[in-house]
Structure 1
Amino acid sequence: MQLLILTLAAAWALTDGAAAGGRAAAPAAVAAAVTTPPMGWASWNTFAARIDYNVIKAQADAMVSSGMKDAGYEYVNIDEGWWQGTRDAAGNITVDTAEWPGGMKAIADYIHSKGLKAGIYTDAGRDGCGYYYPTGRPAAPGSGSEGHYDQDFLQFSRWGFDFVKVDWCGGQAEGLDSRSTYQAISDAIGRATAQTGRPMVLSICNWGNQSPWNWAPGMSTMWRTSGDIIYWGQTPSMDRVLANFDSAQHPSAQSPGHYNDPDMLIVGMPGFSAAQNRTHMGLWAISGAPLLAGNDLTEMSAETRAILTNREVLAVDQDALGRQGVKVAEDQTGRQVYSKVLSGANRRAVLLLNRTTSPASITARWSDLGLGGAGTVRNLWTGADVGTYTGGYTATVPAREAVLLTVDAGAVTPSPTPTPTATATGAIRGAGSGRCLDVAGGSQANGAQAQIWDCNGQVNQRWTPTGAGELRVYGGKCLDVYNQGTADNTSVVVWDCNGQANQRWRFNSDGTITAVGSGKCLDVPGNATANGTKLVIWSCNGGTNQRWTRT
């Protein structure tokens, strides 16, 4: 069953202090609920539908006694299984009071009594996930909120819930339109808040269908970007962790109060080692993702507790800028560098990820991070400074693991690019062809092809490098690797500047220009020299068709 927690995201630049474009305004009643990624615990990964008052009470107690509350975890979220789809004659939700003494208000009140916030779950369709995928309880027809949006969300608010996750099993089965359906739900939450004064975080859970990162920031706090990180009864898998991490890479959608959601954490669940737990936690932290633990807090080991409550790692996730970390280098396949801009002058969180099956040396170059000069490197898992370095830092990363660092360049002024002429606007001439980097037909349309053409000094051949590593033309268009591609022969085009890694370029001392997002070079295919030859990215080889000079 696909289950998720979703929030809003908004366009945000990936360099210090620069906003990247507008976004739809979220309803104030929803947006006011959070300013950093939600942190808490959710019942699904450990308990599935086998939940009741005592299960939830025990987890709330453990969140406090374990120190997780003090570390910033605050939501206790009741997932699927609390309700079997029953309603009274007026259409109000009813529950089994043998399982939930005092009803759902009683458990919300108990959670609040511990200084925590309460979350609840429903589906956008008529029949929720408990009908289509019964897990621990009989199939439950009618367990969705379709036809009762205003009634249900008002009831949740009156019960005292602060967070609601809205799943998509019924919505998918009925062929509903995600965007309009979740907009109706968001509007209903806004009306409920207007009556009760209690904002509720909306977590959209449609598993990334219909690209929620393009529209969910205007109506929610968080939105799921992929399927479940674990299905009931499965053993945790690093492959699934990495797949969910990859699916959540939509940095232009994320900003304070609005987050891509790669799903709940599986840190501390049976089957994962401490190293895997740290890697998983580091991936979510560099992403600025919601952190909703899914392990049994009442049986948590000291090692798991230390991973979940590492204050320096949590500070990366919770950084006030709300940026999502992005891939800035992959010099060799599977050896990746991710960077997240942090608040404060010239500070970055850096994740060195080794996806290969052997230990590997991975280098974070300051130029890829938008930094210059010397930077102090700190390992967040050991809690120790490892030294001050100029130009970059290299670490050996075990197979299928990650190292999480911060780099603090203090008051050092970031270097725009490694070349002294990088800030000047001018032409970029191909060494092999003698022709210039050109936008086909002088077009300013998104997707217009980059090509080589006789150098003529016209505006479609005048490129301006920026401190973010962009190559701008016409002022607001950027040289772009189409669709964030990484494969050889991917087209190079121009697109509205958005700060993503596929619009960042690095000038190298041998004259090559590396596409930061793919680690491949700007290339004239087949060593061609004819006007109109379309440009691509290709594995760097130093050939004359990959060498360029600025004029």
Structure 2
Amino acid sequence: MIRSRRRRRALAAAAALAIVAAASVSSAQDATAAPNNVVTTPPMGWASWNTFAAKINYSVIKAQADALVSSGMKDAGYQYVNIDEGWWQGTRDSGGNITVDSADWPGGMKAIADYIHGKGLKAGIYTDAGRDGCGYYYPTGRPAAPGSGSEGHYDQDFLQFSRWGFDFVKVDWCGGNAEGLNPQTAYTSISDSIARATAQTGRPMTFSICSWGNGSPWNWAPGVSTMWRTSQDIIYYGETASMDRVLTNFDSAQHPTAQSAGHYNDPDMLIVGMPNFTAAQNRTHFGLWAISGAPLLAGNNLATMSADTRAVLTNREVIAIDQDPLGRQGTKVAEDATGLQVYSKTLSGTGKRAVLLLNRTGATANITARWSSLGLTGSAAVRNPWTGTDLGSFTTSYTASVPAHEAVLLVLSGTDGGGSGGDKTGTIVGKQSNRCLDINNSSTANGTQAQIWDCNGQSNQSWTYASGKQLTIYGNKCLDAYNKGTTNGTPVVIWDCNGQNNQQWNLNADGTITSVLSGLCLDASGAATANGTKIVLWACGSGDNQKWTFK
């Protein structure tokens, strides 16, 4: 959290070729690799900050864990109980290990993690990337806490968190910001520390980057974390919940090319059910996060929430939109008049879309979703997930009356007809090797050469074929014929997507994948089938090392 309101290619050819030719091992075998595959859907749970700020202790967290279960939220998919800022006042023992007030945390932090686990839930904890955390710069309910960050203790602290039993760690940026640290450098180091801790304890931790969008984390965080904050806080200490802030944070999180299954833009914790928010505002807010495929971390007081709030937070059909396994972020596909917007999210299955009609204006208005802008053709069935009712079948479009500052959420079932709504995501499997097209060690570096490796479901094997004929990975990297090569042996690498034709590919009926620029085929070099075999371009032939299946 933050309490203030502040807001190419340049590699030499020899260096790049050295990169693409380098032999190394798969990320699945590298203990220092970033923990990129902890989750496959957006994390769901509850976090303490929005309601309790730093005024937390064992009893507060226990009561919320109990309520997460008794309210039905656990059964609806919420897993994490996240202890945010305020649990620690920056104290350490002579060995540098974190110590806590036993009056607040009887039995220490392991005891509360054990209690959470005993409820069938997962436990989350919090620290800062700098020396002094947010509790030092912005004390909120507790005295200023110097030393309440993890800088200088990364390996030690994340190992301690893992040994205590925590499954999730949020790392804030108050100290990092004040010290002028580089966000990418700091958070990459932290990611490596988490991976080393996991290698020792066997307990992976979901990693939440909270740099408030500083350093444009959507450009690099998919390679090192599960989720990354894209904006400042959705509510500040002592404030009233605001739909304007909800929309600001929603807008700031629009980085769809960065998002994929296991890696998520984070517009911040939910304020559904916070004081002065109406039922309609709760639904609009929750619908915005669902269409975004954002993490769903409730921030209200679960022990005292109303039946209406509980109904919003536990609506299974809306949750399913958020949790769709494709991991897509919905994008704006139409705005016929200023402030009358249509967002579309491709769902798993054939011809499935979630659609949100958002009215940002001050008056009720009709908003139309047209199948052509959603990548659908023919008739489509329309359903209201909030009420669980089918609204009928429509041939080319659907229009709804949307109240001012609210949204209508829909689920459509039709026929894919091309366009951005019809993008396909999956693995690309070699016919000869039965191994997957893979980016070694989950690297996001420009010039990393593609290879084949045992299929493992990780994000470095998840490809999206977009309407512009690009094959993308991590949301923002494209499969690229290196240096616009058109000759046999040209390395096939990943590079920042740039719209050039050396990043365009034809997926052909005979199983070949050809470069639009050269017409050459994607080829497992030397017809080899071993893990680590590099991918190059080669004149198309009849060999199975040039045949691929997009699954």
TM-score by length of structure 1 reads 0.72
Q: Is the contact made by 1:29 and 1:199 (CA closer than 8 Å) also made in structure 2? A: no
The amino acid that maps onto 1:248 is A
2:5 pairs with 1:2: no
Aligned to 2:299: 294
Q: Is the contact made by 1:370 and 1:469 (CA closer than 8 Å) also made in structure 2? A: no
Q: Is the contact made by 2:374 and 2:419 (CA closer than 8 Å) also made in structure 1? A: no
Identity score, percent:
76
- What does 1:152-551 align with in structure 2 at a 5 Å threshold? 152-409=157-414, 412-414=415-417, 470=468, 495-496=498-499
Q: Distance in 2 between matches of 1:212 and 1:142?
A: 25
2:115 pairs with 1:110: yes
The amino acid that maps onto 2:123 is A
Q: Distance in 2 between matches of 1:159 and 1:259?
A: 26
Q: Distance in 2 between matches of 1:235 and 1:201?
A: 30
Q: Distance in 2 between matches of 1:125 and 1:344?
A: 44
Q: Distance in 2 between matches of 1:298 and 1:495?
A: 50
Q: Is the contact made by 1:370 and 1:468 (CA closer than 8 Å) also made in structure 2? A: no
The amino acid that maps onto 1:387 is G
TM-fit CA distance, 1:31? 2.2
Q: Distance in 1 between matches of 2:397 and 2:467?
A: 17
Unpaired runs of 5+ residues, structure 1, are 4-23, 418-466, 478-493, 499-551
SS of 2:204's equivalent in the other structure is coil
* Matched residue count: 410
1:350-408 CA distance string (max 9 Å, x none): 00000000001000000000000000000111211111000110000000000000010
Q: Is the contact made by 2:375 and 2:416 (CA closer than 8 Å) also made in structure 1? A: no
2:41 pairs with 1:60: no
TM-fit CA distance, 1:278? 0.2
Aligned to 1:122: 127
Q: Is the contact made by 2:44 and 2:296 (CA closer than 8 Å) also made in structure 1? A: yes
The amino acid that maps onto 1:321 is L
Structure 1 segments of 4+ aligned residues over 4 angstroms from their partners: 24-29, 467-472
TM-fit CA distance, 1:33? 1.5
Aligned to 1:148: 153
SS of 1:235's equivalent in the other structure is coil
TM-fit CA distance, 1:476? 9.4
Q: Distance in 1 between matches of 2:304 and 2:37?
A: 34
Aligned to 2:92: 87
Change (3 A) 1:100 1:189: same
Q: Is the contact made by 1:476 and 1:496 (CA closer than 8 Å) also made in structure 2? A: no
The amino acid that maps onto 1:2 is I
Q: Distance in 2 between matches of 1:240 and 1:176?
A: 27
TM-fit CA distance, 1:30? 1.8
Q: Is the contact made by 1:25 and 1:218 (CA closer than 8 Å) also made in structure 2? A: no
Aligned to 1:43: 48
Q: Distance in 1 between matches of 2:269 and 2:127?
A: 17
Q: Distance in 1 between matches of 2:327 and 2:269?
A: 19
Q: Is the contact made by 1:86 and 1:142 (CA closer than 8 Å) also made in structure 2? A: yes
Q: Is the contact made by 1:130 and 1:143 (CA closer than 8 Å) also made in structure 2? A: yes
Q: Distance in 2 between matches of 1:123 and 1:286?
A: 30
SS of 2:412's equivalent in the other structure is strand
TM-fit CA distance, 1:29? 6.4
Change (3 A) 1:70 1:97: same
Unpaired runs of 5+ residues, structure 2, are 4-25, 421-464, 471-477, 481-496, 502-551
Q: Distance in 2 between matches of 1:282 and 1:46?
A: 21
Q: Distance in 1 between matches of 2:263 and 2:244?
A: 26
The amino acid that maps onto 1:496 is G
The amino acid that maps onto 2:186 is T
Q: Is the contact made by 1:29 and 1:194 (CA closer than 8 Å) also made in structure 2? A: no
Change (3 A) 1:41 1:413: closer
TM-score by length of structure 2 reads 0.72
The amino acid that maps onto 2:499 is D
Q: Distance in 1 between matches of 2:2 and 2:50?
A: 11
Q: Is the contact made by 2:376 and 2:417 (CA closer than 8 Å) also made in structure 1? A: yes
SS of 1:345's equivalent in the other structure is coil
Q: Is the contact made by 1:123 and 1:167 (CA closer than 8 Å) also made in structure 2? A: yes
Q: Is the contact made by 1:259 and 1:290 (CA closer than 8 Å) also made in structure 2? A: yes
